[in-house]
Amino acid sequence: MMLPTHALGGMALGLSVAFVMPEFAGVALVAGFLGGILPDLDMYIGHRKSLHYPVYYSGLALLTLTIAGLLPSVPTVFTAFFLVGAAVHSVTDILGSGLELRPWEATSDRAVYDHYRDRWIAPRRWIHYDGSPGDLLVSLTLAVPLLIALDGSVRQVVILTLAVAIVYAAVRRLLPTLAAVLVDDVLAPRLPDQLLTYIPARYRDVD
């Protein structure tokens, strides 16, 4: 799934706090948003392995949610929903495609790395690929309750995130070609080999 979907998912989970502990709703929304983003910070360094922990995040999320329920405070609520956002991101990536540059071709059998079992989890492809119409529909669905319930600057964050999702979905199938041009024609002739090694191989493995 695309990053905006994960960010909105984290916020939607944080919204639940408004019904039980409204004084911590803002903290939970921000934490869920940031936690939903966190795993994809490994985009260019071991993507879906370096910061994706479907088992460990989930275990820690359950533990910290229990602590936050018993001892609610800004730190405990923030930690709990940050980890919830990261856990849901890591798990739901399994429902999408693999790591291939053109995921609609379904050539990769690697979705998310399971550090607990020391193996890759195969993609389920319930969401055809990140930025697919189905992925965008999930983003839109998650945004609806947030747009209804929120106002002010937090609502603006939802609108901006949704706008990014729409633009990304619109250009998603063009990105592999753009990546090839950028890496092979623009960066490769200008960057030293030491820096080129930091560019994931899949960005150069295009037709």
Question: What does the pLDDT read at residue 189?
Answer: 73
pLDDT reading at 179 higher than 80: no
Question: Using the 8-state DSSP alphabet, how is residue 174 labeled?
Answer: G
Mean pLDDT (whole number) for 137-148: 97
Q: What is the pLDDT of residues 117-128, one digit of tens each?
A: 999 999 999 999
Calculate the average pLDDT of the chain. Answer: 91
Inter-residue contact 25 to 11 (CB < 8 Å): no
If you write DSSP's letter for every residue of 78-106 in order, what string do you get? HHHHHHHHHHHHHHHGGGS--S-SSGGG-
pTM, whole model, 2 decimals?
Answer: 0.89
pLDDT reading at 207 higher than 90: no
Q: What is the pLDDT of residues 33-88, one digit of tens each?
A: 999 999 999 988 889 999 999 999 999 999 999 999 999 999 999 999 999 999 99
